[in-house]
Amino acid sequence: MIAIFVASSRRVPKSVETLGVSDFLLHAGVYALLGLTLSRAFAVGAGARGWRGLVLLPALIGTLYGITDEWHQSFVPGRDPSIDDAVADAAGALAGAAVWAVGQGWRRLD
């Protein structure tokens, strides 16, 4: 989350604009990593069980963080908040959490 905050506190570098990757995919990819990381953290640290704790809760936290990050960008010169970016953040967080759960073989999911 700190890395996302720092990156969104700066103007978009030209190198990112010329990558040829859509903004939606970039947001979704970053938030997929966040969703995956949150799922793993909940499973290990908090001992969360079930699909609510290992998929829905990390996806919700990632989504809410994405919304607050879009709001944060409204204060950064050269950055603009976007509903499309928030949707991509939510989709990525859910996908990352789901990928982690599938990788675990759904063993802990009730």
13 or 67: which leads in pLDDT: 67
In a domain, 1, yes or no: no
Left if phi > 0, otherwise alpha if psi is -120 to 50, otherwise beta: which for 47? left
Please indicate, yes or no, whether the overall pTM of this predicted structure exceeds 0.75. yes
In a domain, 14, yes or no: no
In a domain, 76, yes or no: yes
For position 44, what pLDDT does the model report? 76
Encoded amino acid at 27, one letter: H
In a domain, 110, yes or no: no
In a domain, 80, yes or no: yes
For position 17, what pLDDT does the model report? 59
In a domain, 47, yes or no: yes
Query: Per-residue pLDDT for 68 more than 70?
Result: yes
93 or 48: which leads in pLDDT: 93
Residue (of 76, 73, 69, 110) closest to 90 by Cα position: 69
Contact (CB, 8 A) for 28 and 91? yes
Contact (CB, 8 A) for 35 and 1? no
